[in-house]
Amino acid sequence: MTAADPVKVMKQEVGRAAASRVQSGSIVGLGTGSTTAFAIQFLGERLKSGDLKDIKGVPTSFQASVLAKQYGIPLTTLDEIEKIDIAIDGADEVDPQKNLIKGGGAAHTREKIVDSLADLFIVVVDSSKLVEKLGTTFPLPLEVLALAISPVTRAVEKLGGQPELRMAIKKDGPVITDQGNMIIDVKFTAIDNPAELEKTLNNIPGVLDNGLFVGLADLILVGEVKDGQPSVREI
Ligand code: 5RP
């Protein structure tokens, strides 16, 4: 028997911890990524066991809706509901003010819509995602209309960023988002004022949204492995 991958165990534990916060009757924002996938799985298991009843999920991506269907979570849309009780989503970087960089899975535009509507937005990460300053370990993703790739690239360079069109794996050419757009990943040395940069980037014509989530997260659940044992702490 091979030993369990500690990163996977950490993601499972943090996903389980987030799923355990969901109460019966809730509308739940379902995030995207490998950590949230475990939360969706555990929500499905709670429904199946009868521990949880009458929830509806609002998916942030094709991946989330496929997983929700796989695990028996009924889905709804933003047209049919007035509010989201709780959203669970991953992140690529988290700073001490709980500001985030998201979009590693190219889903940040829908994620920001859903997560921002939630009464309680829980972020599920492992400790490698915690940074002192955003932008230091992960480039900032922008979702961009295909026809605007060149002007947006130039505008981002003028702001001091190093843009790179995200290329697909196992498909020739660029990544195409669930909405049919492209992703430009922008490397900034460090992001000193996330709130200002979020607005500045979204003001460039052709940018649909960027991966800065400022002042949205309520609770960060951080998975860690201590003395070989996985644990989850709250920020
Ligand atoms: C998708 C995201 C993901 O939540 C983020 O990339 C974290 O993913 P993972 O849990 O796989 O590390 O923002 O757009």
- Give the position, in ligand 1's atom list, of the atom nearest the Cα of 31: 4
Domain, as residue range, for 53: 6-130+215-234
Which amino acid residue places its CA nearest to atom 1 of ligand 1?
105
Catalytically active residues, by annotation: 111
If you measure from the C-alpha of residue 196 to the centroid of ligand 1, how many angstroms do you get, rounded to a whole number? Answer: 23
Q: Are residues 199 and 220 in the same domain?
A: no
Tens-binned pLDDT, residue by residue, of the chain (235 aa): 456 788 888 999 999 999 999 999 999 999 999 999 999 999 999 999 999 999 999 999 999 999 999 999 999 999 999 899 999 999 999 999 999 999 999 999 999 999 999 999 999 999 999 999 999 999 999 999 999 999 999 999 999 999 999 999 999 999 999 999 999 999 999 899 999 999 999 999 999 999 999 999 999 999 998 887 889 999 9
Rounded to whole angstroms, the Cα distance separating 140 from 213 reads: 11
Q: Are residues 83 and 35 in the same domain?
A: yes
Q: Are residues 35 and 71 in the same domain?
A: yes
CATH number at residue 106: 3.40.50.1360
Q: Are residues 106 and 36 in the same domain?
A: yes
Q: Residue 151: what residue type? A: P
DSSP for 66-132, please give it. HHHHHTT--B--TTT-S-EEEEEE--SEE-TTS-EE--TTS-HHHHHHHHHTEEEEEEEEEGGGB-S
Give the total number of structural domains in the chain.
2
Q: Residue 138: what residue type? A: F
153 lines ligand 1 (CB under 6 A): no
Rounded to whole angstroms, the Cα distance separating 74 from 91 reads: 24
pTM above the 0.95 mark? yes
- Give the position, in ligand 1's atom list, of the atom nearest the Cα of 124: 10
141 lines ligand 1 (CB under 6 A): no
Q: Are residues 89 and 169 in the same domain?
A: no
Q: Please check whether residue 112 lies inside any domain of the structure.
A: yes
Q: Are residues 203 and 163 in the same domain?
A: yes
Element (H, E) at 158: helix 149-158
DSSP for 4-73, please give it. PPHHHHHHHHHHHHHHTT--TT-EEEE--SHHHHHHHHHHHHHHHHTSS-S-EEEESSHHHHHHHHHTT-
Task: Select from 92, 121, 140, 216 the residue to mutate for testing ligand 1; criterion: most ligand atoms less than 8 Å from CB.
Answer: 92
